[in-house]
Structure 1
Amino acid sequence: MIRFFISTVLLSLAAAIVQAQALPERLDSLFQSLNQDGELSGAFMLVDHGKMVYEKYLGYEDAAKTTAITADSRFELASVSKPITAMAIMQLEEQGKLAYGDFVSRFFPKLPFASTIRIKDLLHHTSGIPEFLAWDESWIDKSKVYDNRAVLEVLESKVDSLLFQPGDRYYYSNSNYVLLALIVEQVSGLSFADYLRKQVFEPASMLQTALIPAQAAAHAKQKQYAQGLAYHAPSKTFKPIDQFSFFDYTRHFDGISGPFGVASTAQDLFKWNEALKKNTLLKRDNFVKAISVDTLNNGLPVKMGDLYYGFGWIFTDSTANPEKMHFHTGGYPGYKVIVVREDKNQRYFIALLNKWNTIDVVPLTTAVNAIIQQREVPEVTREVFSEAITLMEFQIKALLGTYQFTLDPALTIVITADEDGNLFAQLTGQQAFQVFPKNDLEVFYTVVKATLQFSKTDQQVDALTLLQNGQKLLFKKIK
């Protein structure tokens, strides 16, 4: 679910001749190097030429470290739920119950501008519907837990304009997949949970997979469920997400499914891959549509940065190659996830982590790919939380405010803090991410490799510079 700015990802599980007996040892060496402090926590699996060649479980399901992660541990899939939601839509299209060109006014007549938005716009994130995770706080009733229907009601009553004309451009918005899940319910006559269970999970033998609200599962101490954890800088420990006041929105939105909400195991995701490979859930020609390039209104391809976005899948190859690599990442407070498929060599990589700010799954996948190809393995760095310091109250207050991009006034970064002194940065149109102080004028992200450096004039903080991907972007403080 997480996205970020100016982010470029190139993944390839390309063909290579490897010695099977050496591959597990090389992978073990990688994960040992990343787990020297014992804080790497997750499930990892690699399939090569159709055979499982590596399976690793590290860490614990809980902050107290009482229950080890095993093959039966379920993780919130975050945005890796999107390919599953898209599968439900594709099944209904295959059955002739809807068409990708259908306007969503067929399903949501009260939704503003619904007569201009097509189902394929929801699938591609080209609808222009604003992101519900970036709603103004005044729109949210904090006394209740929102489900998909409640999100629709707010969209119907509060959204008076789209961000752009549908089909004009790409804009990642989880609201799209909330609406897709509601469409599945309307067309099938089943709840979204029941539809996925009957039409996706059971046919694929994914018997440990279900829609499970993450916060509800954590509070109920549900067995075989990896609780989402994050680093708490003041105490220098990992804590459950619900102990961070800033992440209250995960409780308010805990009843939502479609963009996230699926909980699964590495073993079940292996079965998902097998079901896709064997065309158990959808005819092959119809699945290929999910990894095919579509175009915007101006004829340019639908792209997510340098990548192409299909029906819930991301890919780098613009050709009609049905065996090309495709993937999706996922991030939600407490979780980082990636699933990568490549049919030509029947390769499949899964990484499920329940500590969302320890390691980025994209560099991890790149390193695994290098090992497969017997190339030099690029460095994969763990976040060094020992570099994080605790600021005094006056130092925190000096950083707070709204900073405007000098080259585009519509783009801002808002710096806020919770009651415990944890700092957060929010880019326009996105959710807020926690940042960690390295000194009184520099903070670093952990969800991506990026840093914010603050600067002063006459002893007052009046600007910040975003450093990411070799670029330096200046933002001036406006309030």
Structure 2
Amino acid sequence: MKRYFLTLLFLTYTLFPAIAQPANTPELSAKLDSFLNNANRFSQFNGSVLVSYKGKIILNKGYGFKDFATNSMNDQYTIFRIGSITKTFTATLILMLEEQGKLSLQDKLSKYFPDFPSGEKLTIQHLLNHSSGLYDYASNMDRADSAITDHPVAKDKILAQFIDQPLAFTPGSKYHYTNSGYYLLGLITEKVTGKPWEQAIRENILNPLQMTHSGFDFRALKSKDKPIGYQIFNEIEQMPDVVWDSTVTYAAGGLYTTSADMLAWAKAVTEQKLLSKVGWRKAFTVQIGKYGNGWDVDSLSGVRFVGHNGGFPGFSAHLLIFPEDDLQVIVLSNVSDNTYVTPISKALASMVLKKPIPGGLAIIPKNFNLPQKALETFAGNYQFDKKHQAQVFLTNGKLFIKADSNQLPVTRILPLSNNTFFLSSVFITIGLNFEKDKAGKVTNMIMTKDGNSFNWKRQL
């Protein structure tokens, strides 16, 4: 017996650490960091990232600007709005209340809102998994409404946006993402708990998990770690976005947080805290589409994950959790348009798990230096056909391309030789070869992608 015990003790202390700790952590961290530095260099990411694997943080770093005007940079303490990732908190609170016997997912909406026109047809379950058919009130709002949305908005004003709209389909028959359902879930938690949704979230989730840097009223937040949220951010344009009040998105998207606080949340999900195992199983049960109760449920190269993305004026975010692999990937950005948070988070997860990156990555060659006079010769307007035009232009000694018809935003192009360039991207490999006539004047731009060539003629 003693011999067996000593053998077991030896195996525990020698084998278990090798299993528990990710291999080649410094090399993996450097690989993730290099990828994100390139994404930042190519204006494809500006924000903060945290990656934790098997209980070890392998990357926790900021990239790019927190505030371009003051030259302050993002870091691991920067505070971000997370938009619809808020729904994972609201859904968890609903499931907690069900486990406490305070409500049932089969409760009809009419129980809480007797005058709601479709109240007898809708259940809490329909709201949770976006199978309600409710009109999405957020589709009525854009940046032009900022005079209204940059102030606290009364709940009855939001309800008026969708309460009388007809259902798009029979509840439970289809998946259709709508913020209206989660707005109603927030109101239901208030009726059940007798407390504001914000207070219930703080008492039931934020405080137990010690998420001390998370909250709701971002507009009123006074902190050196509060960033500017940008609509557009690239090398030549930095456009601050409107600042919506948190009451506009409420239980559907009103939270702000940090990467460290988000890790506390992701670890709680991984370790099945707050809810019972049955409760978490219910959270991740898909009835329709690829959405459970507040969570995207899918797989990456055959490895199951749960998560959510979030978009908000000035901000975007993506949370990926691989429960069986104890991997948490948190990508937070203070840029809303032309954001790459979702492909970036999946690329990072693939690198950690040693799986193929969806869509692959671009081959980034070493660029070649050309003087400004040489770069000037490529500037001009190019046309592929009547519907597709591109503009190549020089700004501050750097060459850029823009093609609105191809949904290509302002993008830096970098020289490889006297006449060849590549599009600065971490995700797509696009080459540009400029042809010249005998006089040395550029006549065509040959774009190559995936082995195919496209001839863009320079316009006079």
Give the distance between the partners of 2:409 and 2:55, measured in 1 at CA. Answer: 37
> Do 2:318 and 2:332's aligned partners in 1 also have CA atoms closer than 8 Å?
yes
Q: 2:155 aligns with which of 148, 154, 175?
A: 148
Say yes or no: does 1:49 pair with 2:54.
yes
Q: What is the match of residue 239 of structure 2?
A: 239
Give the distance between the partners of 1:160 and 1:210, measured in 2 at CA. Answer: 32
Say yes or no: does 1:175 pair with 2:168.
no
Q: What is the match of residue 28 of structure 1?
A: 33
Give the distance between the partners of 2:171 and 2:28, measured in 1 at CA. Answer: 46
Q: What is the match of residue 81 of structure 2?
A: 76
Give the distance between the partners of 2:121 and 2:356, measured in 1 at CA. Answer: 50
Q: 1:360 aligns with which of 324, 333, 340?
A: 340
How much is the aligned-residue C-alpha RMSD, in angstroms? 3.7
Give the distance between the partners of 1:376 and 1:276, measured in 2 at CA. Answer: 25
Q: What is the match of residue 115 of structure 1?
A: 120
Deviations 1:204-237 (A, max 9, x none): 1101111124xx24xx76532222102279x941
Give the distance between the partners of 1:43 and 1:136, measured in 2 at CA. Answer: 28
1:445 positional shift: 7.0
Distance change >3 Å, CA 28–CA 145, structure 1 → 2: same
TM-score under structure 2 length normalisation = 0.69
TM-score under structure 1 length normalisation = 0.67
Give the distance between the partners of 1:341 and 1:292, measured in 2 at CA. Answer: 15
Give the distance between the partners of 2:349 and 2:245, measured in 1 at CA. Answer: 38
Amino acid of the residue matched to residue 314 of structure 2? G
Q: Which range moved further: 146-155 or 54-63?
A: 146-155
Give the distance between the partners of 1:87 and 1:362, measured in 2 at CA. Answer: 22
Deviations 1:52-81 (A, max 9, x none): 111111222224143322322210011111
Q: Which range moved further: 365-374 or 159-168?
A: 365-374
Deviations 1:181-215 (A, max 9, x none): 111111001111111111110001101111124xx
Matches within 5 A, 1:37-436: 40-135=45-140, 143=148, 145-156=152-163, 159-213=164-218, 216-217=219-220, 222-231=223-232, 236-242=236-242, 251=244, 254-294=247-287, 302-303=288-289, 308-316=290-298, 324-374=304-354, 378-379=360-361
Secondary structure of the corresponding residue to residue 104 of structure 2: coil
Distance change >3 Å, CA 390–CA 351, structure 1 → 2: farther
Distance change >3 Å, CA 106–CA 232, structure 1 → 2: same
> Do 2:211 and 2:261's aligned partners in 1 also have CA atoms closer than 8 Å?
yes
Distance change >3 Å, CA 154–CA 329, structure 1 → 2: closer
> Do 1:210 and 1:264's aligned partners in 2 also have CA atoms closer than 8 Å?
yes
Give the distance between the partners of 2:147 and 2:315, measured in 1 at CA. Answer: 23
Secondary structure of the corresponding residue to residue 122 of structure 1: helix
1:355 positional shift: 1.3
Q: Which range moved further: 93-102 or 37-46?
A: 37-46
Distance change >3 Å, CA 202–CA 334, structure 1 → 2: same
Identity %: 25
Larger RCO (CA within 8 A; separation ≥ 6): 1
Distance change >3 Å, CA 73–CA 190, structure 1 → 2: same
Distance change >3 Å, CA 263–CA 141, structure 1 → 2: closer
> Do 1:204 and 1:271's aligned partners in 2 also have CA atoms closer than 8 Å?
yes
Give the distance between the partners of 2:404 and 2:275, measured in 1 at CA. Answer: 54
Deviations 1:95-141 (A, max 9, x none): 0100000001111122211110000100011111101122389xx89
1:252 positional shift: 7.2
Runs of 4+ with deviation above 6 angstroms: none
Distance change >3 Å, CA 331–CA 255, structure 1 → 2: closer
1:440 positional shift: 7.2
1:167 positional shift: 1.1
Give the distance between the partners of 2:380 and 2:333, measured in 1 at CA. Answer: 26
> Do 1:20 and 1:53's aligned partners in 2 also have CA atoms closer than 8 Å?
yes
Amino acid of the residue matched to residue 183 of structure 1? I
Give the distance between the partners of 1:31 and 1:130, measured in 2 at CA. Answer: 38
